[in-house]
Structure 1
C-alpha cells in the first residue's frame, strides 16, 4: 500500500462522516433520465445507489424512458410526436412505452442484483419493489392538441411506498399510471418524481439528467454551474426563461425543482449523469456538482449554542495540532461557546471564531478564527470576520485585536495593523505567551 494513502483517505473519510450521520433514515427520491441508461451508465449508478442504501438512506427510484420509446417507435416505422415538452401517446406509442418500461425494469433489477467480489456491490443486498403505486388522469386537450394516452399523476400511494422503504426495500417507479377504470397512461419521469417527492415529503429529490445544472449565466454555456439557488431566486429565474420544449432547456428540470420545493421538499437537485459518481459527489461534498434548489439558504452564519461544541472542537483540532491555533480544551469551549460565531452548511460547521471582550479597554480579542480546508478560498473567513466585527460594535467597543503566528498578511489586507504586545489590555497581557511570540494586530471599528 502507498504510505501516503492513509494520510489522504482517513481525513477524507472523516470529512464525509457528518453527511453519513445527517442522511441516515432520510428519504431521497431519485429520477434518472432514460438517456443515462442508454449511455451505459446504469451499473455505476446502481453501485452508487447501493452505497446510499447501505448507509441507511430510504430510496425511491423513478426511471425515464424517452430514448428507449423513441427507438421502439423508429423500429416500428412510427414517428415520435411531442408538444409542450410532452409526448403525444397514441396507441402505438403506448405499446412501445409498455415494452420499454418492462425491459428497463428488468435491466434495473438486474443491476441491483449484482454482487461481484471487488466491486461496490459485493455483500450488498438491495431488494427492489415495484407496483401500481400511482393513479393517473389524462392530460387531455391543451391548446388544441390532444395528448391521447399521455397522463399526469393524480395520486401517489404514499403509505404503501413508505411501508416498502421502511423495511429496507428500494421502490422502483416506472412512468406509468392507471385510472380507477384500469386505463393506462404514459407519464413523464419528472412529473412522477416530483409528485412522489411531495407526497412522501422527501428530504431530497435528485434528477440525474443530460444537463449539468443551471449555469450562473444562462446564455453562456461556458459559465460556471450555480451550485445553490434559493427558492425565491429559482422562481425569478424560471419566470424569465421561455417555456421548455425539451429536456436540455434550462427551465425543463428547474420547474420541477421549484414545484417540489413549494410542495415541502427542502432540497431538489439537477445533476449531470455524464459525470461518474455525480450522485455521491452531490450528497457527500460541501458544494456538490450540480445545482441545488432550496426553500431557504442552507448556509447559516449565527451565534453558537451548546449544541455546537462538538462541531467547533472537530473543526479547530487539526489547527491546534499543527500549531496554527493555541490549544483549547473542551471545558473552556463549553464555558465560552456563547462567545463563538459559526458558519454552518447543511448541519455541518465549516467555520468559527470567538470574541472575548475587554470592556474596560473598549476592545475585544477575536480568537480561534478557523475555516475548514474543504471550503477555504470561498469567502467564509470574511463572512465570519464581518459578523464578529458587528458583534464587537454592538458592545460599544472601539477596536478589535487578534494574535497570530501565521496569518498576519490575511488580517493586514482586511484593515488590521501590527502593534507591540505592550498595547494589549492588562488582563490579556498577563496571559500573553512570550515563547510563542504571536503577532498582535489591531483594527479600529469606527
Structure 2
C-alpha cells in the first residue's frame, strides 16, 4: 500500500530523509534519535484528537510522516484521542474548544480510522487491552506484523481512571510553575484558561507513559505547537517508569507569509471528497503562491528531491508547470489517480488549456427559468453564489470580472436566456478562480 517510491531519497536512515524534506523542527536529542532510527525498528506515535468528523490537510502532514516512517520499517502507532477529545487541547488556541458529546466523539473517531486506512496499512489483529487505571498496566495481544501500523484510542486508558489515583500518582510529577511557562498555556492566561484544559498536558503526557510502559513506544511526533506536551510526556515517562523516550516536532504547513495553509473560503481543506471536492482540492494547490511551491513539493509529494529542486527553480510562467505537477501529485495521493486526472482536465478546460468541461463543478438549473425573457445576469450569478449581492455583481461586471463561455460580459442588464446556453451548458467564470458549468434540466 505504501505510496512512496524506492527512489524518493538516497538516504537509508529515515531521520535523514525527514531532515532532507524539511520536516524536522525540534528534537529532544538529534544525535541519539538519528542513531536510534538507524539501528532499530521502533514503535512511535502521533496523536489525533477527533475535533471534527474528517481529517484536513493539516493532519495530512502527520500522515505523510507516518508513511515515511513505515516505509523505512518503523511501526506507526496511530493514537486517536477519544479520551483527550473529551477535554480539548488548548495548544495554539485563543479560546476554549466547543465541548462534544461522547456520541459525536466516537463517530469522529470511527471516521478518522476509515481515512487512515486509505494511507496506512494496519495490523488489524493487534489489540491493546487490560488498562483499568493507574495501577493496572495494559498489554498488547501480539507483536505487530513487520511493516504494519497499529491503532489505539486513549479512551481505553483515560476513561477508566480514578481521579484521586491519577492526581496522586501522575499529578505529583508536574510543577504548576513550569506548566504555566509552557507556550500552550502562556498565550491563554490573559483571556482565561479553564481547569478542564489545564489537565490536558497531564493527560497527553500520561498517554506517552502508558504506551512506553505497556508496549514499548519509544518516540512521540507532533506539530511544533505540541512541544510542551511532548516534553511533559518524556519527563513523566522518565520519572514514573524509568524509561528513556524521545520526541520530535515538525514545522506546521504555513505559507511564505507565515499563515497556515489549508484555509479556503469555505473553511478547512478536507481530505474527504464529500466535504472538499477533488476539483476544489486540486485548484487549491494549483493556485499556491510561487514562493510556496518548493515547500509544498518537498512536504506533500514523494517526488525525489532532485526533481523538486528543478521544478522549484522554474521562473515566470514556467512555474505554473510546477504548480500543476504539485496539484496533480497531492490530489492523486488523497483522492486517487482517476480523480486527479479528472480534476486536472477540468482545470485545464476552465483555464483555457484544453480538456473536458465534464470535470468542472456543475450546477443544474431548470430550463423553464430561462425561457422567454430569461433572468438578469446579475441575479443569475448571485443565485449561483458567485457574488453575495446585486451590488457585488454589478461591480464584478464593471471591473471586467465575469465571463460566459469565455466571453467577457460588459452589459450589466444582459438577460441570460435558453439561447445563451450551448447544448444546454454554460461555462460561468467569475475572476480567475471561480468557475462552474450550469446545465439546463427539463424539470
Q: TM-score normalized by structure 2?
A: 0.33
Q: Please, what TM-score do these two structures have when normalized by structure 1?
A: 0.33
Q: Tell me: higher relative CO, structure 1 or 2? Use CA pairs within 8 A at least 6 residues apart.
A: 2
Larger Rg: 1
The structure whose residues are more often strand, as a share, is 1
Bigger proportion of residues as helix: 2
